[in-house]
Structure 1
């Protein structure tokens, strides 16, 4: 029997453009190879979703709160209940959800279930938390296994947008607790890790932060990646991407199917002075997005440079 061509076998197994190869890390963030996780037959019941929060009110802010903002909250309107529900960037002990003694439900965003679809996981946790609250049982709610089919977060949440409040620390953890001294040490330790953060008011989903040695503006944008890269390249080549004296567009994060451009800012810039330039940049960006002209050589070079300075958050 003739030997099979190893080259042909490799070619047949090569993934198509945009697909995940069997030996590559699974995009869900589990740390496993794709063939042993979401690429395994029957290995994962929930398919991996590239843009899991699409259709959710304030999708860009949700991504920012999940990946970039340390301490923030937003009330949620949930269909089928008048119970108070609060979306939180982070809960004590990184809990997925909590039913408070008051009966209020808190849902945590900064949780890595690694079941393929964070919106499905959050929907399952929220559903379980609401059921637990109806039973009058305060405590932590979480997932121990892939929840399988069911409502996603955007299937449960109503309204057009979220009203996000950025906090200086995690004092909201104990806002409804009588014995605040019992959590004082844990709260102090958690607050020590928080970098000052401010949400800009003039544009959507843009957050200034001070990390000590420098300041940044991180801005989650809803446009498709290719179109956004073209538009950013046009503005960069035209010198229209500066937001403050000494600022520089240094790259971008890719998170949950969207891009978040990042600007370095000189220490002492602050958030307030960025409001007007950010609004102006948003107007210029909208014009650049509408352009149908071919990129110039300078714009193509700028685009390549931006594409090479991307970091994917999983």
Structure 2
């Protein structure tokens, strides 16, 4: 009782009319005021890539795909190449021929990844040819540049090309021995990955061993997608066929990424048909608006228990 009373007293305004910095923040976050709105705190952006063409692919290149590129166009018509990752985790680079390359996977990030990448892109657009890109602070409170949504042409589709290695790092350049050694080391860690055609952000990957995986970044909002997956699971229609198993899901940047275990001895192309059939079943389940049955609610709880948040 005494402890509760102390908390209540600490929440009253200070003598100068401000909020006691040790008091719970009035916003209801549960954090102390000095660690919340009293420090300029802003809540994380749940879906930083929302509104960008190919939002699921942005999530995939940021979190799941080792080596891939995609052409971008800025709002003022400049051409840029988006890469899954650049040497040393660099945020961006400008080649000697003026080509701008933006890296999706950064070494640090703030609560708004879109602003982090936008800050790097804005710096690259101003950097001279062949010069290092110096975007300033990225991933902290000092990252205050534009968001990607302010810089990218929102009408240009995102078309991803998956590469077997990081050879695109030094295309058109004469890389020295040290760079070549770094490239070989990075290539050794690349997992075989392929994008299934005409299925959105559905990526097949074979990490070695007895299983391969299909990781499918879905564009739907989380709650209706989980309801639809629960309906399919309760109806025993969530697998991709014989020898496959629904393994769980990632949650990354506000989107859900269902994952299936697949036999490793089958090629990526063999799963295009089964994945398309599953996509049709999922669309039908998404269209159902009836409340979940008891079996479907249990299935949904099971799906949530096997969901891992990447960010």
**Shorter-chain TM-score range:** 0.7 to 0.9
Count, aligned residues: 294
Please list the CA deviations of residues 223-261 of structure 1 after superposition, one character each: whole Å capped at 9, or x if unmatched.
Answer: 111111110011112222221321111110011011000
Q: Which runs of 4+ in 1 moved over 3 A?
A: 6-9, 12-16, 140-143, 145-150, 179-182
Instruction: Give 3-state SS (helix, strand or coil) of 1:190's partner.
Output: helix
TM-score, normalised via structure 2 length: 0.86
CA gap of 1:91–1:253, structure 2 versus 1, over 3 A, is: same
Q: Could you tell me which residue of structure 1 aligns to residue 276 of structure 2?
A: 279
* Structure 2 residue ranges without an equivalent (≥5): 12-22
Q: Could you tell me which residue of structure 2 aligns to residue 248 of structure 1?
A: 245
| Within-5 A mapping of 1:83-232 | 84-133=79-128, 136-144=129-137, 146-147=141-142, 149-158=144-153, 159-179=155-175, 181-213=177-209, 214-232=211-229
Q: Could you tell me which residue of structure 2 aligns to residue 309 of structure 1?
A: 306
* 2:43–2:111 CA contact under 8 A, matched in 1: yes
In 1, Cα distance between equivalents of 2:29 and 2:212: 35
In 2, Cα distance between equivalents of 1:193 and 1:89: 14
CA gap of 1:291–1:7, structure 2 versus 1, over 3 A, is: farther
Counterpart selection for 1:77 from 73, 80, 85: 73
* 2:137–2:143 CA contact under 8 A, matched in 1: no
Q: Considering only aligned residues, what root-mean-square deviation do their CA atoms show, in Å?
A: 2.6
What's the CA shift for 1:144?
Answer: 2.1
In 1, Cα distance between equivalents of 2:122 and 2:228: 40
* Greater C-alpha Rg: 2
* 1:244–1:265 CA contact under 8 A, matched in 2: no
Q: Report which stretch shifted further, 112-121 or 163-172.
A: 112-121
CA gap of 1:188–1:196, structure 2 versus 1, over 3 A, is: same
* Structure 1 residue ranges without an equivalent (≥5): 24-33
Instruction: Give 3-state SS (helix, strand or coil) of 2:38's partner.
Output: coil
In 1, Cα distance between equivalents of 2:178 and 2:108: 29
In 1, Cα distance between equivalents of 2:4 and 2:149: 48
In 2, Cα distance between equivalents of 1:195 and 1:229: 28
In 2, Cα distance between equivalents of 1:20 and 1:304: 26
* 1:244–1:274 CA contact under 8 A, matched in 2: no
Q: Report which stretch shifted further, 60-69 or 157-166.
A: 157-166
* 2:162–2:194 CA contact under 8 A, matched in 1: yes
In 1, Cα distance between equivalents of 2:175 and 2:44: 42
What's the CA shift for 1:277?
Answer: 1.2
* 1:253–1:312 CA contact under 8 A, matched in 2: yes
What's the CA shift for 1:137?
Answer: 4.8
1:22 aligns with 2:31: yes
1:237 aligns with 2:237: no
Instruction: Give 3-state SS (helix, strand or coil) of 1:252's partner.
Output: strand
CA gap of 1:188–1:291, structure 2 versus 1, over 3 A, is: same
CA gap of 1:204–1:105, structure 2 versus 1, over 3 A, is: same
* 1:98–1:141 CA contact under 8 A, matched in 2: no
